[in-house]
Structure 1
């Protein structure tokens, strides 16, 4: 059984795709090929997981307009042609895409050879890549019930499955945070605020948090994941606080990116300040963690993260600070009341858990396998049966 996987650009698209890939390989022995952007984050992450990776030129479908948008659009036909060549040679029995600009050439190429496609929509609001793929997809899955209305045109092939999360998240879901705090050299008895802008980091968020350390650290410890590109700037902004108050240094841990320990970081936390991507929110729901969400600002197609965040706030699982309103004062005003009230944290944690879909990986994997088996059966029927070789006639004696 050969399965094509695609989803990239950010960790939020990559890790759900990898969750499906691992389930396919571990439980069904599937042969896997991950097709992604040759310059994307997936180029580094996927091979580390022991999965074959092939990169193509993928024009980025940006949320905002820039001069680079024009040049990137010119790369789209190139990526589609490259994907077709890869898929034609690989001949997958089914394909799974989890969004991101690299998924478009992969999904179109798979459908081009007749392979069924399971297209997964993570955010509440469909992204541009999935709007392109939706008419061609064999099945569409969505993470949240609020997404179903956007696929009314395709409702017969659309189902609510939840969003796949990493196996590491499921393993730590029912553990207490204290041992994980200790693993980061933090005090297990003190509350921990985890700050993360996702795999790409978030410069504005980093700067505001670094500017707020003197206000926040007396009340909690902070594990701050800045993103590799923003690490040095964030470190420099944080240092003056410790020159003034050296006793606070041991309450702050700064890391660039900890992809292999992200599940432990989440499990260690008592509250998060983070973006509102669907992958992040799905993990918070599984773990039952209160959050203060800072959605990405709107682009030319709107802000999917603002809609995701509004859903969590409506459920009572999160508070929201719009990115344009994020200041040290606003952050302190949002964080401290939650830190100081264990009852409120418990209510928010329970609300987050009501949004969890822990069976998502299993459900989606079963869907991909079912379609792949049908494809294999169909291809076997099409293959002409070979007639047995005629018996060689013995010469008359």
Structure 2
């Protein structure tokens, strides 16, 4: 039996591609293992697949700003490296697949030290810090945006497109309405700020609820510990995070308000959902979400509302404008070419495992 080891975490975006690939390998009879953090969201998500053995390791964040944790975290990374090295040496995987995030760096280095072939997936237009550190030690890099290949060695990268989870396309709108207690009488807006939430988006949404709920029903994914239990009103449903029911929620959704993480926006594109994107600012990130959002705006799939201009008023106005013109967005999405990225990545993993 061949063994594949996955890694990636810190946010749901660093796990979703792994979740799409894992069933393929289980169906082919592979032993599937996962190295992640001790308490990150990846552990919670992988726990839903009992066939996958999960190994937690110590992790530290690589920050671009001054923080007291910067003194402690290098020691955590070194500890995680030794843990990953020993796990890889003991389990002898045929291949390792990394989706990125800070937990992946010790695993990538551990794979390199054990001479195990490793493939990296980069979702964003520009590689993140963890992947930039990891790429020199990898066998190859799968890219989502074609522009990314120009930043990498030609013999090391392949443009595969966006990996979309099959279950995302299998939702049922009636089940989604039943789950949220919604009716067919009003259109539905899905609002999500990422698995960790987005306080400024949450605040603007809550300040505009009285205006928005007159015309729309709203399902609001607020992020961990960010649900406001005092807000109960018809046509508004809030959750920290939705996993199993997300395909049904997406099926009933007419518009999406979201951050601009690559995995999420390509899933919305595959489902032909017009988007209002509120990318992370350059102060909060390296600017990757801004580039992702601008790429989608240029293609006519989305509108952008920059966080610096986000208020209850601008949010409501942007939603109304997007809904009024929704048919044009759907038409442009219908013209987009959808590559079978899942099979392309699966085939490349099999290739380097040999």
Which residue number corresponds to residue 289 of structure 1? 273
Which residue number corresponds to residue 243 of structure 1? none
Which residue number corresponds to residue 136 of structure 2? 135
State the distance in 2 between where 1:358 and 1:179 align: 29
Q: TM-score, normalised by structure 1?
A: 0.84
Which residue number corresponds to residue 220 of structure 2? 224
Determine if the alignment matches structure 1 residue 316 to structure 2 residue 312. Answer: no
State the distance in 2 between where 1:296 and 1:73 align: 26
Residue 144 of structure 1 and its aligned partner are, at CA, apart by 1.2
**Deviation per residue, 1:89-132 (Å, 9 max, x gap):** 01111111011111111122112222111111011110011111
Which residue number corresponds to residue 45 of structure 2? 45
Contact 1:99 1:122 in 2 (8 A): no
Contact 2:122 2:143 in 1 (8 A): yes
Contact 1:282 1:356 in 2 (8 A): no
State the distance in 2 between where 1:165 and 1:220 align: 28
State the distance in 2 between where 1:146 and 1:181 align: 39
Contact 2:303 2:322 in 1 (8 A): no
Aligned match for 2:318, one of 331, 334, 356:
334
Which residue number corresponds to residue 236 of structure 2? 252
Q: Do the aligned partners of residues 268 and 52 (structure 1) sit closer, same or farther apart at CA in structure 2, a change above 3 Å counting? A: same
Determine if the alignment matches structure 1 residue 13 to structure 2 residue 14. Answer: yes
Aligned match for 1:305, one of 281, 285, 289:
289
Q: What is the correspondence of 1:202-217 to structure 2 with a 5 Å cutoff?
A: 202-217=198-213
Q: What is the correspondence of 1:56-135 to structure 2 with a 5 Å cutoff?
A: 56-62=57-63, 64-135=65-136
Q: Do the aligned partners of residues 299 and 70 (structure 1) sit closer, same or farther apart at CA in structure 2, a change above 3 Å counting? A: farther
Which residue number corresponds to residue 170 of structure 1? 169
Which residue number corresponds to residue 192 of structure 2? 196
Secondary structure of the residue aligned to 1:229 is: coil
State the distance in 1 between where 2:304 and 2:97 align: 32
Structure 2 portions without partners, runs of 5+? none
Q: Do the aligned partners of residues 356 and 207 (structure 1) sit closer, same or farther apart at CA in structure 2, a change above 3 Å counting? A: farther
Count of aligned residue pairs for this structure pair: 352
Which residue number corresponds to residue 155 of structure 2? 156
State the distance in 2 between where 1:21 and 1:194 align: 27
State the distance in 2 between where 1:138 and 1:41 align: 27
Residue 155 of structure 1 and its aligned partner are, at CA, apart by 1.2
Q: CA RMSD in A?
A: 1.8
State the distance in 2 between where 1:189 and 1:275 align: 27
Q: Determine which structure has the larger helix proportion and give its number.
A: 1
Residue 300 of structure 1 and its aligned partner are, at CA, apart by 7.6
Which residue number corresponds to residue 352 of structure 2? 371
Q: Do the aligned partners of residues 301 and 201 (structure 1) sit closer, same or farther apart at CA in structure 2, a change above 3 Å counting? A: closer
Which residue number corresponds to residue 270 of structure 1? 254
**Deviation per residue, 1:60-115 (Å, 9 max, x gap):** 12354422233223321111111001100011111110111111111221122221
